[in-house]
Amino acid sequence: MISKRHVKQYCCEAANLIENYGKAIADTTQTWVCHHRNEINMKKSTKELIDMGLYYNRPASELIFLTHSEHKSLHGKNMTDECKTKLSAIFKKKWRSEEYKAKMSRPQPKYRWLKPTGEIVIMRKSTVGRCHSDWQLLSNTPVDQNEKV
């Protein structure tokens, strides 16, 4: 099993071109993770890859499907229960903070999209990514929130 939503965010090509795709689709017993090879090859964190523009919309050759256990062992995230408890407490504080709530309540930017019918619509990227994989992004610059098509 794979999360097609995540794959669409990470890969700008067809998902079936990613290494181990066939195994991941055929396996119904466990979840497979779409992993960026550059995290290991370049020794970069997810945040660093995002800052460098190398995290989203990448070619299939930069990605690989791994089982959840393979992914965990690759990153060395075999944490003790004590460590998990500490991290849980940290994240609970973060999600309850006023800064986090303010960030999450901000309106998401909207973009122009071209439908297969030729019609242009204005929608959020997250909405289009979930529901309309055949739509094309016209400009990577957000439109004015009050603008209508």
Model confidence pLDDT, tens digit, residues 98-134:
777 777 777 788 889 999 999 999 888 887 877 788 8
Domain assignments of the chain as residue spans, ordered by start: 4-75, 105-149
Judge whether 26 and 73 are in contact, CB under 8 Å. no
Strand 136-137 versus strand 32-36 pairing type: unpaired
Answer yes or no: is pLDDT of 84 > 80. no
Q: pTM of the entire structure?
A: 0.51
Distance CA 100, CA 81 (A): 26
Judge whether 2 and 27 are in contact, CB under 8 Å. no
Judge whether 33 and 66 are in contact, CB under 8 Å. yes
Structure token digits, residue 110: 């909207």
Model confidence pLDDT, tens digit, residues 7-64:
888 988 988 999 999 999 998 898 898 889 888 778 788 888 889 999 999 999 999 8
**Can you name the residues that pair with 123 across neighbouring β-strands?**
111
